Amino acid sequence: MPLKQIYEESEFKSILEKESSFLLFKHSLTCPFSRGAFDQFTAYLEEHNGINGYYLTVQESRPLSNLIADHFAIKHESPQIFYIKSGEVQWHNSHGEITKEAIEKVTL
Q: From residue 58, give the alpha-carbon distance in Å to each of 48, 75, 86.
A: 25, 14, 24
Enumerate residues 6+ apart whose C-beta is below 8 A from 35.
none
Q: What pLDDT shows up at residue 50?
A: 86
The pTM of this model reads 0.95
- SS percent in the chain: helix, strand, coil, step 5: 45, 25, 30
Structural domain including 68 reads: 4-107
What percent of the chain stands above pLDDT 90?
92
Distance CA 12, CA 64 (A): 8
Mean pLDDT score of the chain: 95
Q: What is the pLDDT of residues 4-24, one digit of tens each?
A: 999 999 999 999 999 999 999
Domain count within the chain: 1
What strand order describes the sheet that includes 4-5? 4-5, 52-57, 21-27, 80-85, 88-94
Q: What is the pLDDT of residues 32-70, one digit of tens each?
A: 999 999 999 999 999 998 899 999 999 999 999 999 999
Distance CA 17, CA 12 (A): 9
CATH code (residue 91): 3.40.30.10
Q: What pLDDT shows up at residue 1?
A: 53
